[in-house]
Amino acid sequence: MRPCVALLAVVLAIPALAAAQAGSTAAPAATPAPAAPPPDLSRIKRGLDTPTPLLDSALNAPPPTFRTSVTEHVDIWKFWGEDPSAVAASVRPNGGTWHQEFQNMVTPDEFKGYGGILSNGEKLQLAATSLAFAGVMKLIGIGVQQAKEGMQNRSVRKAKEEVQQELEAFYALHPEARPAAPATPP
């Protein structure tokens, strides 16, 4: 440790010594070099004064306007009796128009679904997948928390082992520094 401190002191002292020597042996003042003639700026001024019609028209023009439109005509009545893929699924009622009307006539209000977008089976599937997803996310959260705790415990254990190894190495070099073993109760 002490050789490092001495080396640091020498390194820090060298620049101060060099500055002191340079100040005591000052060189005679050199004669200044003759000043160069000032540059001719007339060519640059002419270039700046030249009109730029293309740049000026681009800066002063109104910004361009771009418009687009996309339209599609879907004949929803084309579906009845033809290709089902001709109409989007969100437009078609579940099971066709006459089946939907029949279901509305014969199903009591207490047993109808909550809206016409999804059928009861689709709502059941949505509820089941939502519950399963919530359970999986809860388990993932617990697993991540346990992994964090495990990593923390591992790092603490490794630090304790490293301290014990260093203490044993120290006690091997200095056996007189080892504390007396505590007396075990009977």
CA atoms of 139 and 89, how far apart (whole Å):
35
CA atoms of 102 and 35, how far apart (whole Å):
105
Residue-number span of the structural domain to which 140 is assigned? 118-176
Do residue 138 and residue 162 come from a single domain? yes
Do residue 98 and residue 126 come from a single domain? no
pLDDT in tens, the chain (186 residues): 566 666 666 667 676 666 666 665 555 555 666 677 777 788 888 888 888 888 888 888 888 888 888 777 666 665 555 666 666 666 665 555 667 777 778 888 777 766 666 777 788 888 899 999 999 999 999 999 999 999 999 999 999 999 999 999 999 998 888 887 766 665
Do residue 131 and residue 166 come from a single domain? yes
CA atoms of 105 and 85, how far apart (whole Å):
28
Number of domains in the chain: 2
CA atoms of 10 and 19, how far apart (whole Å):
15
CA atoms of 125 and 120, how far apart (whole Å):
9
Do residue 107 and residue 128 come from a single domain? no
